[in-house]
Amino acid sequence: MLIIDARESDSLDKALRVYKKKYEKAGVMKEVRARQSFTKPSITKRDQKLKAIYRDQIRRIEE
């Protein structure tokens, strides 16, 4: 549960912006999307490995 300290001097817009930032950082939507369908652990590991290879290639190109 996200809690936001709203002061009397703060506007509602500012409180909403703070809420949205906390919501994004908490990763709520990311988790909901991940739970919609089951992915096998082997597929998850493969995706992580491919992403690491891609990041490594990008780093080597920049050097």
Q: What is the pTM of this model?
A: 0.51
The confidence band for 54, taking pLDDT boundaries of 50, 70 and 90, is: very high
Find all residues with CB under 8 Å of 2, minimum gap 6, and list them.
19, 22, 23, 26
- Does residue 6 surpass a pLDDT of 80? no
Rounded to an integer, what is the distance from CA 61 to the centroid of its chain? 27
* Span 12-51, pLDDT tens digits: 888 889 889 999 999 989 899 989 999 999 999 999 999 9
> Does any domain span residue 31?
yes
> Does any domain span residue 2?
no
> Does any domain span residue 25?
yes
> Does any domain span residue 6?
no
The parent domain of residue 30 ranges over 12-62
> Does any domain span residue 7?
no
Into how many domains does the chain fold?
1
> Does any domain span residue 35?
yes
> Does any domain span residue 45?
yes
> Does any domain span residue 16?
yes
